[in-house]
A and B are shown apart, each in its own frame.
Chain A
Amino acid sequence: MRFLLLFSRQGKLRLQKWFTALSDRDKKKIIRDVMQMVLVRPPKSCNFLQWRDLKIVYRRYASLYFCCGLEQGDNELITLELLHRYVELLDQYFGNVCELDIIFNFEKAYFILDEFIIGGEVQETSKASVAKSMEEADSLQETMEEYLNKPTY
């Protein structure tokens, strides 16, 4: 996978994860182009597109588009499952996730993604494991007291 994007129907970016090194300008261009292509698709279309040398896989969940750029060797159908798994993880974490959750807690969306995917590849195929890791990591976040008591750097 080269990148993963989440954006709203109005074209507002909610999450961007890049798995290759690109300049800011390139990233912005890709976002613009891909958004343009995906947002015009009619509702019951095929979820796969060919764009430049990449396969674009996207799916709409409520008001958010989840969109990936894949290399030629990647399996599009399993990527649909991957996107679905990510949505399930978000749903489990936030409880009935909606776009606002992702807007106001974007850093958590990233943390969850980082527990599920590394370097463009799935790292954990068990939903339960990912959920558990998030829980434990969150518990490490210090309380105010602990925070102030920890030695500063």
Chain B
Amino acid sequence: MTDFLNIALLFIQYTVMTPSVRLQEMIRVIRSARTQGEERGIIQRECADIRSQFRQGDNGERSHSLAKLLYVHMLGYPAHFGQMECVRLIASPRYSEKRIGYLGAMMLLDEKQDASLLITNSIKNDLSHSSQYVQSLALCTLACMGSAEMCRDLAPEIERLLRASHSYIKKKATLCAVHIIRKVPELAELFTPSARTLLSEKNHGVLHGAVVLITELCERNPDTLVQFRKAVPELVQIMKGLVTSSYSPEHNVAGISDPFLQVRILRLLRILGHNNDTASDAMNDLLAQVATNTDSSKTAGSAVLYETVLTIMDINSESGLRVLAVNILGRFLLNNDRNIRYISMTSLQKIVQTDHNAVQRHRGTIVDCLKDQDTSVKRRALELSLALVSAVNIRSMMKELLIFLSVCPPELRSQTASGIFNAAERYSPSKRWHIDTILHVLTTAGGDVRDETVPNLIQLITTASELHCYTVHKLYRALIKDIAQQSLVQVACWCIGEYGDLLLKGECEEIEPVQVTEDDILDALETVLQSHMSSPATRGFALTATMKLSTRITDNVDRIRSIVSIYGSCIDLELQQRAVEYNALFKKYDHMRAAVLERMPVMDKNSPGHTNGDTSGEIKEPDTSKPKPVEAGLLSEPASQVCDLLDLLGGTDTPLQPSPAPTSTPTTTSSADLLDLLGGLEIKPVPTVSVYEKNGLSLKIQCDKQTETEVTVTLIASNSTQNDITNFTLQAAVPKSVQLQMKAPSGNVIPAHGLGQVTQTVLLNNPNKVSLKMRIRVAYSNQGAMHQDTVQIDSFPSAACQPSFSPL
């Protein structure tokens, strides 16, 4: 640009009262600031200048000043002091000032500001201004920032403009009406009559506005929708006109005649045809025509096709049309343009439930889209792939999904993992496949799976009892390869603890046999325990697994003992507690160790023990609930003596002998903790009650209520004499309707001086809920002499199971 031109331009600009020059100077200055601080300084100066300009009143500079302020506002600085200036400028008779004033109102005033109400009157006046451009300013501003109150005030004016004015104003008034209805829905009735007549307009702008208005009215009011269904033929006509018309340069975009209008009409037709056969029929032909004739090589055409497909799928269209629509989407899937592929998948997602088979045909392409570079496309492909998984294609789909999991971007990993789990759960062809799949996911993306995965997997493994050997071998191998994935390590530890004996056997049908020694297993577990990578929860798993192995292996129990005792002084509180309890299990409660650590029963998915919120997933149910293969107890007595007992239970009420006061919970804290660990659920420390004490032999019972009708009674015998008690046996009898099952006693020798105990568990089932009584006969030898005695226990109150008794 030469200097001359420059000057000429400046001259022209100065003579016409555009804000531009002054504004541009300021902008230039602001942009030349080199630091944020410098910019702030300039802004402050300018704002001060602007403020003084505002105070001076009318001097021809006001519009420049407001323009400057608006720029400052756009940079993010406060500009509220300009609000009143907007109000003043809007009221000015000068178009330039009005124009900038209205712009300011749209930028600075919103319905939350009080000043916005002040312009209502100006807007009202300007709506009837002689110049359509002034009217236009008012309409535009009202449609942009009009509050509900303003809308109510001015609605009649807008309605008048809808009917009377020419197209330039009509189109704006129509969209202003849309805004009013959104703000004040009750005013919809006001505009409904005029909306109908607007459809006969020729001007595309007005037509477009009319379609938007009718759409808004129909979406808000079902009655209005019924009314406008009658307009379907008219809309079809208009569409036909657009689709078949010859080239019209004014509205043409890439060969499509007014795609904006076409898309809006299609959208309205969708709403009108939804759930209505007559309307849907009326538009069938049109939709077929649009679908086949629209050229989709450019975006405009694709946009129209897209809207057409959406409409076809949402109305009651005939099946041929639906197939056509899905095929269009299938074609879109192969399009080079990423946007089109994305759109296609979004649409397919919407119809995958209803038109499942049709979408299945394109499964291959969809799965290919998983490999697309773009994350948006990948995400859509993932959702769609997961929706397409079915019993038939599960194996091949899972292969693809697992490949995807290993290469997908991190933000999609957890969604993929949970999708895979859900699919596996619903459609897995075999338990082994299921377990393999979950293991694969854990190895690839163990860090991204949800917490429930670990207990879920454990539960799954327990139910697949025939695969225990296979599973534990696989997990063991995964464990020795890599211990970084916490969920995998946790499950592996649990399995090794449970099924370590199977691991040691070495042979397993489904997997290559590998010789694993006890030391190997313990090495692996110790590595987990000591590794920095293991989380506290994982170490807890490992420690418990080590402990469980003490009953499953034979040679290295000492090693286990030492591991466990080392952790008795661990800093981690949870580990320390566990180690201490396990130590106790070795020492004081060694007789219970086998029972405590035996195999877990198969867990129900929704049993209370399953949702033990603890993320360590440590679930233990009281092992006493599992029926052991029972030796029939010692009821080998001649029947007559047993009958004796039963007869004696005929309800004689012998007065109770004063008895030693029932000892309340003798359990020490460590065994209470032990029970807590075991129970995890509702177990409270069970009271042990003494029922018999004679000649140095004392008998205590603990009872535990398992269900409404089942009670477990544990009898504990101890010996405070100088000599061991030998040949110790217990017999028990209960009322006729109660079923009794006696388990094997822990032994029949009670060491002297209280150094040991014999325990025996009795299971009672009381289906008729009669009052429970039990008679116990003890027999033993002490110092060569035979002794026999009987104890009757009269009542077991349900809650605390504190029996009252009468020794006989």
Chain A residues engaging chain B, CB cutoff 8 angstroms: 13-16, 19, 21-23, 28, 44-50, 73, 75-78, 80-82, 85, 103-107, 110-111, 114, 118-119, 121-129, 133, 136-137, 140-144, 147-148, 150-153
Contact = CB atoms under 8 A, between A and B. Distances in A.
Contacts of A141: 16-18, 95-96, 99
B640 interface: no
B205 A126 contact: yes
B402 interface: no
Contacts of B260: 78, 81-82, 122, 125
Main secondary structure of the interface of B (DSSP, over half): helix
B99 A111 contact: yes
Contacts, number: 184
Interface string B743-758: 0000000000000000
B342 interface: yes
B70 A133 contact: no
Contact of A123 (B106, B111, B175, B306): B175
Contact of A47 (B140, B172, B250, B339): B339
B377 A129 contact: no
A143 B144 CA distance: 29
Interface in B373-409: 373-377, 379
Contacts of A15: 74
B373 A44 contact: yes
Contact of A143 (B17, B253, B338): B17
B586 interface: no
**Of residues A73, A106, A123, A148, which shows the largest number of chain B Cβ atoms within 10 Å of its Cβ?**
A123
Contacts of A144: 14-17, 60
B205 A129 contact: yes
**Of residues A80, A103, A114, A127, which shows the largest number of chain B Cβ atoms within 10 Å of its Cβ?**
A114
Main secondary structure of the interface of A (DSSP, over half): mixed
13 contacts: A21-B112, A21-B145, A45-B376, A46-B342, A78-B259, A106-B71, A118-B172, A125-B261, A126-B250, A133-B133, A144-B16, A144-B60, A147-B96
Contacts of B144: 19, 118-119
A136 to B, nearest CB: 7
A67 B279 CA distance: 36
A153 B205 contact: no
Nearest to B177: A119
Nearest to B110: A21
Given A46-B339, A122-B208, A140-B95, A73 B267 contact: yes
B95 A81 contact: no
Contact of B133 (A21, A110, A121, A140): A140
Interface in B1-51: 14-20, 23-24, 27-28, 31
A107 B19 contact: yes
A99 to B, nearest CB: 12
Given A118-B172, A123-B209, A141-B96, A78 B307 contact: yes
Contacts of B327: none
Closest 6 CB pairs of A and B: A77-B303, A78-B303, A119-B143, A46-B376, A118-B175, A124-B205
Contacts of B304: 78
A152 B20 CA distance: 22
B629 interface: no
Given A77-B343, A80-B299, A49 B376 contact: yes
Interface in B157-172: 168, 171-172
B704 interface: no
A114 B140 contact: yes
Nearest to A15: B74
A110 B103 contact: yes
A28 B78 CA distance: 12
Contacts of A82: 260
B93 interface: yes
Nearest to B95: A140
A82 B307 CA distance: 15
A143 B377 CA distance: 54
Contacts of A106: 70-71, 74
